[in-house]
Amino acid sequence: RRVTAPGAVLRGRRDGWGPLYFRAMTATVTLNGKSLTVDQVVAVARRGARVEISEEATERATQSRAALERDLARGDVIYGVNTGFGRLANVLIPPDDLSRLQRNLIVSHVAGVGDPLPADMVRAIMLLRSNVLLKETSGVRPALADRLARMLNAGIHPVIPEQGSVGASGDLSSLAHLAYALIGEGEVDVAPTESGSAVVSRRVAAEQALRAAGIEPITLEAKEGLSFINGTQAQSGILALLVHDSATLWRAAHAAAAMSLEALLGTPVPFDERIHGVRPHPGQQESAALMRELLTDSEIRESHRTGDDRVQDAYSLRCIPQILGTVRDAMRYADGIIAIELNAATDNPLVFGPDVLSGGNFHGQPVAMALDVLTISLTTLAGLAERRLDRMLNPDCSQGLPPFLANEPGLQSGLMMLQVTAAALVAESRTLCTPASVQSIPTDGNQEDVVPMGMAAAFKCRRVMENARAVVAAELLAAAEALEFRKPLRPGRGAARALGLVRDCVAVRDQDRPITPDVERLAAAIREGVFA
């Protein structure tokens, strides 16, 4: 089974598995500022779908720009358009310096530090920024959105450091690094191309990459620099990908849970529809239904229906719907936030026909809180998986399975270290659950006195997502080995199907061998949706 999309290879880094190069799909995503979805973000960010700009959106943006230019010609004073920024808003800028004002804004805000964001996240940010600039409230030329779309189609990705944004007045630093490339300055990564069997990547000067692709660097005009960096598109682009990944991981976690329950000779009675009908949380009902589906027609279940003196299973088996259902509801909250944010007007000031209004839609509090909630829910999911993993390896809890699932316990250590690794990842994730969205530190001379720290929330959530995916992969690996010891009895249909998918990725462990490659292969398969 292929666990990568055609035309993509997996990067061997835990901080961002993803496509190293892109081939255009037949699919095309058309931006209009109104209808962008998470699935479309994933298609562009990871699958190489092409991007086009709708003619209707282009016309709306052109009319909005004309209205703003009429206001300027009339001599109106508009924040950030012909004034300074933040504490310097009372400084009036002469008409001849308006373009220079916008360029100065961009270059002065290129202040990020840390490792560059992975290519898929940069692409998501570019797509969201292009979509928002098409809204009639932005008052910028449609050429800005068009240039970003052309860069995406050419595989040109600005280098955006992952740290340096507090998420208020937008993701200023992150988006400034993006705009810096758009004006032909700084460096970009050009999507690697296949050269025989090798994958060749390049980092080049932005101007060189743009001109090689036939894209003219843009000269920013009045308001355009400010509109470009006022917005939540950095944290929102990351949230969009994490929302998608969390839904994929949630289903994989159920596959692992069903396999573990079968391996531990657990009972499916706690998933009875009647139990969950009297506590009708949506996620709980969805989780219980999925478990029933996965466990249907189990020979293992029939083998211990009678003669088993246990009254109840441990919580990690019995309470799967109550726990993973709550996780699902939390994920739905994040999903609802990003569905709105993808098409929201988040720059400043906003153009409403003849009125140009200054407000605070750039504040990232909704996104930052959603990221924090998602971090907590993913940590909960990982912690539950680790508990079942431990039960399968611990001879005191494993219902007769060999210690650590070793074929020759003592001579072999089996999967002893798998639980150690999972415990380390869960512990780290728990330390990252302190919300970033309450950690405000005033900035800009106390003008921006309450900030949401959205990119810090994204930074933590990214790490926890990788941790949780690895822990679920570890549970899948252990459950598959445990089910080998239950043969010739077969688990439920869905659990058997999941076991087959595990075996497509990793072979039976009949002797000790390195564990890391198996976990990484399964984590990659989870990310690619194999278990969804």
Identity of residue 251: R
Q: What is the DSSP letter of 510?
A: S
Percent composition of the chain: helix, strand, coil (DSSP 3-state, to 5): 55, 10, 35
Q: Indicate the pLDDT class of residue 354, thresholds 50, 70 and 90.
A: confident
Instruction: Return the pLDDT at 87.
Output: 76
Q: pLDDT band at residue 154, thresholds of 50, 70 and 90?
A: very high
User: Mean pLDDT in the chain?
Assistant: 92
Cα–Cα distance measured from residue 122 to residue 117, given in angstroms and rounded to the nearest whole number: 6
Q: Is the pLDDT of residue 527 over 90?
A: yes
Rounded to a whole number of angstroms, the CA Rg of the chain reads: 26
Contact assessment for residue 166 and residue 441, using Cβ atoms and an 8 Å cutoff: yes
Helices (H), 110-164: 119-133, 142-154
pTM over 0.85: yes
Give the percent of the chain with pLDDT over 90.
Answer: 83
pLDDT for 94-128, tens place per residue?
988 999 999 999 999 999 999 999 999 999 999 99
User: What is d(CA 407, CA 191) in angstroms, rounded to the nearest whole number?
Assistant: 46
Decide which of 448 and 184 is more confident. Answer: 184
Quote the CA–CA distance of 266 and 277 in Å, as a whole number.
Answer: 22
Residue 59 — very low, low, confident or very high, per pLDDT cuts 50/70/90? Answer: very high
18: confidence class by pLDDT, cuts 50, 70, 90: very low
User: Any catalytic annotation for residue 21?
Assistant: no
**pLDDT value at position 13?**
35
Beta bridge partners of 200: 193
Closest CA to 220 of 159, 188, 187, 179: 179
User: pLDDT class for 26, splitting at 50, 70, 90?
Assistant: low
In the block, tokens 């990659």 appear at 524
| pLDDT band for position 197 (cuts 50, 70, 90) | very low
pLDDT band, residue 89 (cuts 50/70/90): confident
Q: Which region, left, alpha or beta, applies to residue 496 given φ > 0 means left and ψ of -120 to 50 means alpha?
A: alpha
CB atoms within 10 A of CB 157: 27
**Dihedral, CA atoms, 300, 305, 311, 317, nearest 10 degrees?**
30
Q: Which of 244-253, 355-364, 403-412, 471-480 shows the lowest per-residue confidence on average (mean pLDDT)?
A: 355-364
Torsion of the alpha carbons at 8, 341, 151 and 143, rounded to the nearest 10:
160
- pLDDT at residue 285 greater than cutoff 90: yes
Catalytic entry in 79, 180, 315, 333: 79
Residue 350 is classified by DSSP as: E
Question: Peptide bond before 488: cis, by omega within 30 degrees of 0?
Answer: yes
Q: In degrees, to the nearest 5, what angle opens at C-alpha 323 toward C-alphas 317 and 328? A: 130
pLDDT of residue 8: 36
> Tens digit of pLDDT for each residue in 429-471?
999 999 999 999 999 888 889 999 999 999 999 999 999 999 9
- CA–CA dist 6, 27 (Å, integer): 14
Residue predicted with more confidence, 347 or 257:
257
d(CA 236, CA 367): 6
What count of other Cβ atoms lies within 10 Å of the Cβ of residue 396?
Answer: 6
Q: What is the DSSP string of 415-471?
A: THHHHHHHHHHHHHHHHTTS-STT----BTTTTB-S---HHHHHHHHHHHHHHHHHH
Sign of CA dihedral 184, 187, 188, 192: positive
Quote the CA–CA distance of 223 and 81 in Å, as a whole number.
Answer: 5
Report strand pairing: 113-116 vs 350-352: unpaired
Phi-psi region for residue 445, left (φ > 0), alpha (ψ -120 to 50) or beta?
A: left
